[in-house]
């Protein structure tokens, strides 16, 4: 496929000078995810990108390095950068997840996030019931209190930012309580899934009281050292999250 010229590519110059190469990365990544540059297509040459975006060569080169590290493009001498198939993308990269959500994650991606959580989190909750220390339980309980505080008793609109941060903190605390350092890294997926849920689902906002209750069941099962019940309670919580997003609970 023929590469687009700088004049035919709607790039738009970064608005600030701070972290300039980062702005270039964000612009190009969003264009790739949005389909303005498709698999196998070459990006504009370095000189054209510099002119179109009003940046120097070092900013463009660093941006290409970052995108290459994330598996989004392949950079070759003399031929420039070419967009790679999505199968090559680093799907667990926090930046990539953030870009995909910003672009409006498709239902398949959201379903994959929920499915991944179903595989990992119930097992993590069961391990937490067996291994959680007093400090772990206190951390989970603190996050649960923060979730309650994020929903004013007056019934007015909740502070969504505070709510999602508290919810993420709860699930991170459960992962940490599992005592498995690899499972703790799964927090990237949880963060992305919860932020997508709060952004896309109005039903989740209306059912937040029920969501808190489901979290309480998970905490109580962990506190009582009941691994089977903790696993079941976490599965139920994730099924609720799937329904809030309009996803099949049995994908």
Q: What pLDDT digit, counting tens, does each position of 116-130 carry? A: 899 999 999 999 999
Which residue reads 């809030």 in tokens?
A: 244
What is the pLDDT confidence band of residue 205, given thresholds at 50, 70 and 90? low
Residues forming a β-bridge with 80: 76
Look at residue 133 in the predicted model and tell me its pLDDT.
98
For residue 188, which of 177, 198, 196 has the smallest C-alpha distance?
A: 196
Cβ neighbors of 23 (< 8 A, separation 6 or more) are 14, 15, 16, 55
Q: How far apart are CA 66 and CA 90, in angstroms?
A: 12
What is the pLDDT confidence band of residue 237, given thresholds at 50, 70 and 90? very high
User: Are the beta carbons of 82 and 217 closer than 8 angstroms?
Assistant: no
Higher pLDDT, 77 or 135: 135
What is the pLDDT confidence band of residue 143, given thresholds at 50, 70 and 90? very high
User: Are the beta carbons of 84 and 74 closer than 8 angstroms?
Assistant: yes
Q: What domains sit in the chain, N to C, each tagged with a CATH number?
A: 1-104 (1.10.10.10), 107-244 (1.20.120.530)
Look at residue 207 in the predicted model and tell me its pLDDT.
65
User: Are the beta carbons of 21 and 53 closer than 8 angstroms?
Assistant: no
DSSP annotation of 151 reads S
Cβ neighbors of 250 (< 8 A, separation 6 or more) are none
Q: Residues 221-249, buried b or exposed e (16+ Cβ, 10 A)? A: bbeeebbebbbbbbbebbbbbbebbebee
Which residue reads 């206190």 in tokens?
A: 138
Look at residue 158 in the predicted model and tell me its pLDDT.
56
Q: What pLDDT digit, counting tens, does each position of 145-196 carry? A: 999 888 755 444 556 778 888 998 999 999 999 999 999 888 887 887 777 6
The predicted model scores a pTM of 0.74
Look at residue 12 in the predicted model and tell me its pLDDT.
42
Look at residue 153 in the predicted model and tell me its pLDDT.
52
**115 has a pLDDT exceeding 60:** yes
Q: What pLDDT digit, counting tens, does each position of 65-82 carry? A: 999 999 999 998 877 899
Q: How far apart are CA 150 and CA 135, in angstroms?
A: 23
Look at residue 63 in the predicted model and tell me its pLDDT.
93
Average pLDDT, the chain: 83
Look at residue 26 in the predicted model and tell me its pLDDT.
94
């Amino acid at each position: 496929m023929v590469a687009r010229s700088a004049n035919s590519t709607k790039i738009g110059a970064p608005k600030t000078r701070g972290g300039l190469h980062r702005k270039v990365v964000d612009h190009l990544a969003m264009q790739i995810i949005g389909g303005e540059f498709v698999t196998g297509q070459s990006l504009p040459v370095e000189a054209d990108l510099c002119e179109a975006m009003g940046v120097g060569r070092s900013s463009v080169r660093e941006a290409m390095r970052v995108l290459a590290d994330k598996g989004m493009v392949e950079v070759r001498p003399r031929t420039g950068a070419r967009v790679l198939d999505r199968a090559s993308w680093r799907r667990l990269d926090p930046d990539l997840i953030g870009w995909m959500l910003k672009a409006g994650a498709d239902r398949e991606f959201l379903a994959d996030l929920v499915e991944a959580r179903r595989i990992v989190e119930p097992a993590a909750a069961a391990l937490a019931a067996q291994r959680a220390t007093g400090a772990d339980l206190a951390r989970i309980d603190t996050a649960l209190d923060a979730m309650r505080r994020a929903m004013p008793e007056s019934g007015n609109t909740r502070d969504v930012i505070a709510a999602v941060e508290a919810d993420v903190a709860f699930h991170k605390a459960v992962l940490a309580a599992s005592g498995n350092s690899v499972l703790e890294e799964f927090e990237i997926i949880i963060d992305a899934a919860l932020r997508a849920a709060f952004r896309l689902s109005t039903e989740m906002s209306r059912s937040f009281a029920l969501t808190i209750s489901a979290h309480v069941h998970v905490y109580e099962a962990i506190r009582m050292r009941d691994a089977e019940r903790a696993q079941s309670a976490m599965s139920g919580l994730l099924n609720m999250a799937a329904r809030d997003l309009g996803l099949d609970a049995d994908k």
